[in-house]
């Protein structure tokens, strides 16, 4: 069981918007920056968002994120078939003294 909670799956049609949630605690999300990773089938994870809201160079602005209290969200707008992947949230947990991840959300484009 993961320290951060994510819904197992979400789906939407091409062009639509999906919102992925990530729930934690005061020792994890509540007091630390959140990152989001995209893992396309059969590949290594890739950094999508860091420091709660920032996009690395090359990540399109269709991907955006926010954080409020002990929860974070990732929004994907203008959904494309190439966005079909697993998405993970991650942060540091000050009580566990280690990095933690959510269980991942599988995004399916209908």
Partner 1 sequence: EVQLVESGGGLVQPGGSLRLSCAASGFTFTNYWMAWVRQAPGKGLEWVADIKEDGGQKYYLDSVKGRFTISRDNAKNSIYLQMNGLRAEDTAVYYCARDRPADIESATHFGYWGQGTLVTVSS
Name the residues that contact partner 1, by CB under 8 A. 2, 32-35, 37, 39, 43-47, 50-51, 56, 86, 88, 90-92, 96-104
Contacts of 65 (CB under 8 A, 6+ apart): 34, 36, 49, 52, 53, 72, 73, 74, 75
The one-character DSSP state at 77 is -
Cβ proximity to partner 1, 10 vs 47, nearer residue = 47
Least distance to partner 1, CB of residue 33, Å: 5
Least distance to partner 1, CB of residue 105, Å: 10
Cβ proximity to partner 1, 79 vs 89, nearer residue = 89
Least distance to partner 1, CB of residue 13, Å: 26
Cβ proximity to partner 1, 88 vs 107, nearer residue = 88
Cβ-count burial of 10 within 10 angstroms (0-12 exposed, 13-18 middle, 19+ buried)?
Answer: middle
Cβ proximity to partner 1, 13 vs 57, nearer residue = 57
Least distance to partner 1, CB of residue 15, Å: 28
Distance separating alpha carbons of residues 52 and 71, to the nearest angstrom: 10
In 3D space, the residue among 28, 74, 70 whose CA is nearest the CA of residue 55 turns out to be 74
Cβ neighbour number for residue 101 with a 10 Å cutoff = 17
């Amino acid at each position: 069981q993961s320290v951060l909670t994510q819904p197992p799956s979400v789906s939407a049609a091409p062009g639509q918007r999906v919102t992925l949630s990530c729930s934690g605690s005061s020792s994890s999300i509540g007091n630390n920056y959140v990152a989001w990773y995209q893992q396309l089938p059969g590949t290594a994870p890739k950094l999508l968002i860091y420091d709660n809201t920032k996009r690395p160079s090359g990540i399109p602005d269709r991907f955006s994120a926010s954080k409020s209290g002990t929860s974070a969200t990732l929004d994907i707008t203008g959904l494309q078939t190439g966005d079909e992947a697993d998405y993970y949230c991650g942060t540091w947990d000050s009580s566990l003294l280690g990095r933690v991840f959510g269980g991942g959300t599988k995004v399916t484009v209908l």
